[in-house]
Amino acid sequence: MSQYWSSLVHTLTPYVPGEQPKVNNLIKLNTNENPYPPSDKVLAAIHQAADDKLKLYPDPNSDVLKQRIADYHGLTANQVFVGNGSDEVLAHAFQALLKHDKPLLFPDITYSFYPVYCGLYGIEYQTIPLNDEFEIDITDYNQDCGAIIFPNPNAPTGRLLGLDKIEALLQMHPQQVLLIDEAYIDFGGQSAISLVNRYPNLLVTQTLSKSRSLAGLRVGFAIGHPDLIEGLERVKNSFNSYPLDRLAIYGSVASFDDETAFQTACQAVINTREVLVTKLAELGFKVIPSAANFVFASHPQHQAETIAEQLREKSIIVRYFNKPRIDQYLRITIGNDMENQALCSALEAII
Ligand code: PMP
């Protein structure tokens, strides 16, 4: 392309999502989905929503869902924003709240969508190196900045930052938005949602894709001060952003109504994670402590890429990254017991 617009297009570096294979005979441990199905109550609610009113448009504001999420967290509906997956919620947040004349800060090793959104929306950013143990050291964030974002637990490391540190960051930067992306918080972390009533600069995003087994439904949400939420609503309503569909709204409401199924699935994932961590350590892997539904591990004698290829030959897919500092690490999603057993046996044969 030699036209003037080709140079514009080529400055964008799009996000490359993890592989979604077309065949069903693979053990899929590469994109951090939940191995357990959504609860029967969620499926029943989706059926009912389909039977009742699929011919009608959904509520463009998803009010019942906002209210349900607000009730679940002891908040008011004007503190809740919902979107088609937390990726969409994050996209609106980058535009509405993280664009500033000073740089946005995030870790050097983190969710790879962040630099993509910065490129797309023209946001200046600076990456802050994680320490040698892949931890966020909040003292490194004590500098002039426009806003801060990171996942907690971080991805792809799985490392958790304590709420005390998050509170210290909020106090360090009272005028800047701190966005905590809690996609994986339900697998062992304490949510910063408990802080939103005290810190008007805190925005927390969560998703129903991981702990609630609803990646295919595409629902995420943000919680924060009504002014931050208003900013997100304004961006959403400034272009043709799709509202949640009817099935997504009612399936999500039902998920918040079925606490037992939610807790049981989270606990099962946590238990299997501990089994896998023990096995990986026995096989000589260095395993980063994880509070997420995946583990991040490297082996001193085996290349991550080679292990991933050998697992693939055994019909198991895991993720590795061609990136500085982490190219020796595998990110392995926690599967169900059978999947985990197959993974452990395959690794025993490879290592
Ligand atoms: N944040 C992080 C850290 C993630 O890993 C993901 C999943 N790739 C998301 C947000 C987005 O998840 P979803 O759009 O399914 O809610």
Q: Is 207 in the pocket of ligand 1 (CB under 6 A)?
A: yes
CA 215–ligand 1 middle distance (angstroms): 9
Instruction: Answer whether 335's CB lies under 8 Å from 275's CB.
Output: no
What separation in Å is there between the alpha carbon of 51 and the centre of ligand 1? Answer: 30
Tell me: cis bond preceding 153? Omega within 30 of 0 counts. yes
* Phi, then psi, of 211 in degrees rounded to 5: -70, -20
CA 1 – ligand 1 centroid, Å: 33
Q: What is the ipTM of this complex?
A: 0.99
Angle between helices 246-257 and 259-282 (to 10 degrees): 80
Written as tens digits, the pLDDT of the chain (351 aa) is 567 777 767 778 888 888 888 878 899 999 999 999 999 999 999 999 998 889 999 999 999 999 999 999 999 999 999 999 999 999 999 999 999 999 999 999 999 999 999 999 999 999 999 999 999 999 999 999 999 999 999 999 999 999 999 999 999 999 999 999 999 999 999 999 999 999 999 999 999 999 999 999 999 999 999 999 999 999 999 877 789 999 999 999 999 999 999 999 999 999 999 999 999 999 999 999 999 999 999 999 999 999 999 999 999 999 999 999 999 999 999 999 999 999 999 999 999
Nearest CA to ligand 1 atom 8: 31
The radius of gyration of the chain's CA atoms, rounded to the nearest angstrom, is 20
| CA–CA distances in Å: residue 58 to residues 65, 85, 183, 239, 245 | 12, 17, 25, 18, 6
Q: Is the CB of 183 under 6 A from ligand 1?
A: yes
Q: What is the pLDDT of residues 278-315, one digit of tens each?
A: 999 999 999 999 999 999 999 999 999 999 999 999 99
Residue nearest to atom 2 of ligand 1 (CA): 183
Neighbours of 239 (CB within 10 A): 8
Residue 255 DSSP label:
H
Contact 156 CB / ligand 1 (< 6 Å): no
**Candidate from 112, 209, 221 with most ligand 1 atoms within 8 A of CB, to mutate:** 209
220 lines ligand 1 (CB under 6 A): yes
Measured in Å, residue 326 CA sits from the centre of ligand 1 at: 19
User: Is 152's C-beta closer than 6 angstroms to any atom of ligand 1?
Assistant: no
